[in-house]
Amino acid sequence: MFDLSTWVLLSLAGFGAGVLNAVAGGGTFLTFPVLVWAGIPPIPANATSALAVCPGYFGSVAGFRQELAALPRRLLAREMAVSAIGGIAGALLLLVTPSKVFDGVVPWLLLVATVLFAIGPWLVRSAGSGGGLARWRLPGLLACTTYGGYFNGGVGILLMAWYLLVGEQRLNTVNALKNLNSTVLSVVSVAAYVIGGAIVWLPAVVMAVFSVFGGLLGARLAKWLPAFWVRAAVIATGLVMSAVFFVRAYSG
8-23 pLDDT tens trace: 999 999 998 888 777 7
Please provide residue 224's backbone torsions phi and psi, each rounded to the nearest 5 degrees. -135, -10
- The four Cα atoms 111, 114, 119, 123 give a dihedral, to 10 degrees, of 80
Report the C-alpha gap between 226 and 101 in whole angstroms: 39
Report the C-alpha gap between 176 and 250 in whole angstroms: 40
- The four Cα atoms 166, 234, 202, 199 give a dihedral, to 10 degrees, of 40
35-88 pLDDT tens trace: 999 999 999 999 999 999 888 777 777 777 888 999 999 999 999 999 999 999
Residues 6+ apart with CB under 8 A from 106: 42, 46, 245, 249
- DSSP-derived 3-state class of residue 120: helix
Region at 226 (left for phi over 0; alpha for psi -120 to 50; beta for the rest)? beta
Residues 77, 138: contact at Cβ < 8 Å?
no
109-155 pLDDT tens trace: 989 888 887 887 787 677 655 556 778 899 999 999 999 999 987 78
**What pLDDT shows up at residue 223?**
64
The proportion of the chain whose per-residue pLDDT surpasses 90, expressed as a percent, equals 45
**What pLDDT shows up at residue 199?**
96
166-180: string of b/e by CB count within 10 Å (b at 16+)?
bebeeeebbbbbbbb
- DSSP-derived 3-state class of residue 119: helix
Residues 6+ apart with CB under 8 A from 134: 166, 167
Q: 18: domain range?
A: 4-250
Give how many domains the chain has, as a whole number.
1
**What pLDDT shows up at residue 218?**
74
Q: What's the mean per-residue pLDDT of the chain?
A: 86
194-244 pLDDT tens trace: 999 999 999 999 999 998 888 778 767 766 777 778 778 878 888 998 898
Query: pTM for this one?
Result: 0.83
What are the residue ranges of helices labelled H in the chain?
A: 4-23, 28-37, 42-53, 55-62, 65-69, 73-96, 99-127, 137-150, 155-165, 171-195, 201-221, 227-250
21-45 pLDDT tens trace: 777 677 888 899 999 999 999 999 9
The pLDDT of residue 252 is above 70: no
